Structure 1
Amino acid sequence: MTYVDGFVLPVPEGKIDAYRQMAESAGKIWMEHGALQYKECVLEDAKPEMPEDAPETCKITPFGKLAGTKDGETVIFAFIVYKSREHRDEVNKKVMADPRMQEACDENNMPFDPSRMAYGGFKALVDL
């Protein structure tokens, strides 16, 4: 089963292009160091609705609420796929030691507030 690092973060709408540039650079670094997939996705359907006949127990929480967005912000949902947790740890060690990544992590270069980013490692439960 694969292992996934997942991220949810609010980003100012006016900084999406800067975020995309940062994410493209970071993604190349992760892929060079062995990640299987690297995806960065911007929220497109901010107010999804369940079908009218959906059970009452299927209520949803929009990503904007989950991420604590403020006016003028949107949500980035990102994930990186690895062979296993051990593989993730090996790749991330190389990524964090890469000088390009250290430069990118300079808080003065960030197009978002990293303290508001949610992150975690996930063991695949279903992997089709």
Structure 2
Amino acid sequence: MTYVSGFLLAVSDENRERYRAHAEAAWPVFRDLGCLSLRECWGADVPDGKVTSFPMAVKKAEGESVVFSWMEWPDRATADRAFAAMMSDPRMAELGEMPFDGMRMMWGGFETLVDRRA
């Protein structure tokens, strides 16, 4: 059963291209470690909420956008091995500093419950 690693974060609008390039450069590492697909989605319709919302969750500031991303893996074991291996993979260090505040990033692993595609 596929496994999904999901991420929610805020990125400065002026860092949009830098973020995209960082994600593109990281993809070969993820792919080589078993990742099946990577999606990086820049917020286009992400309203503020009154009680909860994506912007509130990441403490989005003026001039930032919410980014929602996920990585699909064949299974949790592959994802767990990949994340452990990334820590020592020299290609990750070559990527340099992340173009966002990692302290405001949320992430988690999810087992697929329903998967339908047209």
**1:111-122 correspondence to structure 2 within 5 Å:** 111-122=99-110
Name the Cα RMSD after superposition. 2.1
More moved, 60-69 vs 34-43: 60-69
Q: Which residue, 75, 83, 96 being the options, matches 2:74?
A: 83
List alignment gaps of at least 5 residues for structure 2.
Answer: none
1:56 corresponds in structure 2 to none
Q: Distance in 1 between matches of 2:114 and 2:5?
A: 15
2:6 is paired with a residue of what secondary structure? strand
List alignment gaps of at least 5 residues for structure 1.
Answer: 49-59
Whether 2:11 is the aligned partner of 1:7: answer: no
2:42 maps to a residue whose letter is V
TM superposition score normalised by structure 2: 0.85
1:22 is paired with a residue of what secondary structure? helix
| Alignment size in residue pairs | 115
2:87 is paired with a residue of what secondary structure? helix
1:88 is paired with a residue of what secondary structure? helix
8 Å contact 2:18–2:99 — kept in the other structure? yes
Q: Distance in 1 between matches of 2:83 and 2:53?
A: 30
8 Å contact 1:2–1:127 — kept in the other structure? no
Q: Distance in 2 between matches of 1:76 and 1:114?
A: 12
1:23 is paired with a residue of what secondary structure? helix
2:86 corresponds in structure 1 to 95
* Identity between Structure 1 and Structure 2 (%): 39
2:65 maps to a residue whose letter is T
Flag the structure with higher helix content: 1
